[in-house]
A = this chain, B = another copy of it.
Amino acid sequence: MTEHRLTTLPEPPYYAVIFTSLLSDDTAGYEPVAERMMALAAQQPGFLGVESAREQVGITVSYWQDEASIRQWQTHAEHQLAQKLGKERWYATFALQVARVERSYCFP
């Protein structure tokens, strides 16, 4: 699986937003909006990278320079519309955690 790479990140400190979710039975329209949000996030000031995977649980971790960048992205108009649809339709449940990355280690 060497066609994929992990996100390259700077030296800490920086911020991580850990978003975990379970989808509802109504996922019509979810996929393109999720992809659009990943692409839109990547254009925001302070964005450093994102990783995402879903099995039973979906986990998306996005990385940001500082808390201000995170707050700005959370209030972005198109993102807020997606958040509304997410709550009304697509997510059975989700949790969002904002964390300050203090140390990191990469292999190799």
Q: Which residues in A have some Cβ–Cβ distance to B below 8 Å?
A: 1-2, 4-7, 9, 12, 16, 18, 20-23, 25, 51-59, 61, 87, 91-108
With A51-B57, A91-B107 known, 8 other A-B pairs at CB within 8 A are A18-B18, A20-B51, A53-B54, A53-B55, A87-B107, A95-B104, A98-B103, A98-B104
Interface SS of chain A? strand
Question: How far is it, in angstroms, between the C-alpha of A16 and the C-alpha of B92 when the chains are bound?
Answer: 23
CB atoms of B51 and A22 under 8 A apart? no
The answer to whether residues A101 and B107 also contact, given A20-B61, A51-B57, A92-B2 and a CB cut-off of 8 A, is: no
CB atoms of B59 and A59 under 8 A apart? yes
